Amino acid sequence: AQTVTQSQPEMSVQEAETVTLSCTYDTSESDYYLFWYKQPPSRQMILVIRQEAYKQQNATENRFSVNFQKAAKSFSLKISDSQLGDAAMYFCAYRRGGATNKLIFGTGTLLAVQP
């Protein structure tokens, strides 16, 4: 069975600095997708970034980028120039390829941004 592990329950970063959130996963599939979701205090689930496993290039969305290490099954999220609005719970999620919509989530990392 696939699993997703986030080993950092809480992280803290100073405003304008860079922080990296860790995520590892376990799967025997070759076709899959990885996601980072942000959950602010409003509880809304917001997609931050996504990565297709077959793509070697790391995904980037403005200040958010990932370090996808397929062999190591690692998928970390880097937030550059952190802003107060980045404070939230961040979830790493896995979805296998094919006809499924099931996301397998990690337990989350609560990010605090210090002014």
Partner 1 sequence: EAQVTQNPRYLITVTGKKLTVTCSQNMNHEYMSWYRQDPGLGLRQIYYSMNVEVTDKGDVPEGYKVSRKEKRNFPLILESPSPNQTSLYFCASTSTGGTDTQYFGPGTRLTVL
Residues that bind partner 1 (CB under 8 A): 4, 33, 42-45, 47, 50, 52, 91, 97-108
Rounded least distance, CB 13 to partner 1, Å: 22
Minimum distance of partner 1 from residue 61's CB (angstroms): 13
- Nearer to partner 1 by C-beta: 75 or 91? 91
Structure tokens at 109: 């990392």
Of the pair 102, 115, the CB lying nearest partner 1 is at 102
Quick one: 43 or 85, whose CB is closer to partner 1? 43
**What's the closest the beta carbon of residue 17 comes to partner 1, in angstroms?**
26
Sign of CA dihedral 51, 54, 56, 57: negative
Report how far residue 69's alpha carbon sits from residue 58's, in angstroms, rounded to the nearest whole number.
9
For residues 62 and 115, which CB has a smaller minimum distance to partner 1 in the complex?
62
Distance CA 90, CA 77 (A): 9
Residue 91 near residue 81, CB atoms below 8 Å: no
Q: How far is the CB of 99 from partner 1 (least distance, A)?
A: 6
d(CA 40, CA 89): 6
The residue count of the chain comes to 115
